[in-house]
């Protein structure tokens, strides 16, 4: 099967969490909005599904078409893909644990977004800079250490080198992306916490060196972090 991923073509965003799973597994997929409209791609193809008058209509990207299924919401897409891509153990307890960890990592993603848009997504960052500075300070000093400390403890309690034990799961890929995003957006803030997350840093390197994922990360398919995405670098929000 060739999966069809629908997401904004200019950013990593939440869609990157789905891309990482597909790339790590070597799955066949098409990043539809990055195709030209002449080939049935572009943002218009994505919006057409979001404006459909019948069937299952996604609220927002990312969403995935798998045969006749149309699946929206990042954790929902990953929950569907993981067992099919070999990125989650077979037993129910482990699957629920992986989903729990991925949902917690996505909480970090949401809170990172709110550092530069603390009041309203409809306003420009420049319209809420004062509030953003307050939100970012709290995020760096309180929330990042709390979240990453939780994942560090999970690794300490693991029976292997990954969050769920000896085998990588989509939870590891999701936490990897969170670490890369935080390093981009808050390099000064991350310097302060990095010495306390040695196992997480080891996990990050281990995930980055997985052969298929390493090839993707070095390719043009990996969109660079930028100030249109969720993880944005504004120096005034990352004061040492």
Token code pair at residue 88: 């989650």
Read off the DSSP letter of residue 73.
S
Mind giving me the DSSP string for 12-31? -TTHHHHHHHHHHHT--EEE
Range of the domain at 159: 92-210
What is the distance between the alpha carbons of residues 64 and 70, in angstroms, rounded to a whole number?
Answer: 6
What CATH number does residue 126 fall under? 1.20.1050.10
What CATH number does residue 49 fall under? 3.40.30.10
Q: Is the pLDDT of residue 30 over 80?
A: yes
Token code pair at residue 14: 């939440």
The pLDDT value given to residue 230 = 97
The pLDDT value given to residue 239 = 84
Q: Encode pLDDT of 68-115 as tens digits.
A: 999 999 999 999 999 999 999 999 999 999 999 999 999 999 999 999
Q: Is the pLDDT of residue 240 over 80?
A: no
Do residues 121 and 35 both lie within one domain?
Answer: no
Indicate whether 232 belongs to any domain: no
Residues 2 and 66 sit within 8 Å (Cβ to Cβ): no
Residues 189 and 236 sit within 8 Å (Cβ to Cβ): no
The total number of structural domains in the chain stands at 2
Q: Encode pLDDT of 183-237 as tens digits.
A: 999 999 999 999 999 999 999 999 999 999 999 999 999 999 999 999 999 999 9
Do residues 79 and 140 both lie within one domain?
Answer: no
Do residues 33 and 78 both lie within one domain?
Answer: yes
């Amino acid at each position: 099967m060739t999966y069809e991923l629908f997401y904004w073509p200019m950013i990593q965003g939440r869609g990157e969490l789905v891309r990482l799973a597909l790339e790590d597994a070597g799955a066949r997929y098409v990043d539809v909005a990055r195709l030209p409209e002449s080939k049935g791609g572009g943002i218009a193809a994505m919006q057409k599904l979001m404006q459909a008058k019948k069937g299952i209509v996604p609220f927002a990207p990312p969403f995935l078409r798998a045969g006749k299924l149309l699946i929206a919401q990042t954790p929902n897409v990953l929950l569907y893909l993981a067992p099919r891509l070999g990125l989650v153990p077979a037993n129910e307890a482990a699957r629920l644990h992986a989903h729990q960890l991925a949902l917690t990592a996505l909480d970090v993603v949401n809170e990172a977004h709110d550092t530069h848009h603390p009041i309203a997504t409809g306003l420009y960052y420049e319209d809420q800079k004062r509030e953003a500075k307050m939100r970012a300070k709290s995020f760096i000093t309180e929330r990042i250490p709390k979240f990453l400390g939780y994942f560090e403890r999970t690794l300490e309690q693991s029976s292997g080198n990954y969050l769920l034990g000896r085998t990588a799961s989509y939870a590891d890929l999701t936490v990897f992306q969170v670490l890369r995003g935080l390093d981009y957006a808050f390099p000064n803030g991350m310097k302060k916490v990095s010495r306390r997350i040695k196992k997480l840093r080891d996990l990050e390197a281990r995930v980055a060196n997985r052969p298929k994922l390493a090839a993707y990360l070095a390719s043009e398919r990996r969109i660079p972090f930028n100030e249109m995405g969720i993880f944005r670098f504004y120096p005034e929000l990352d004061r040492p």
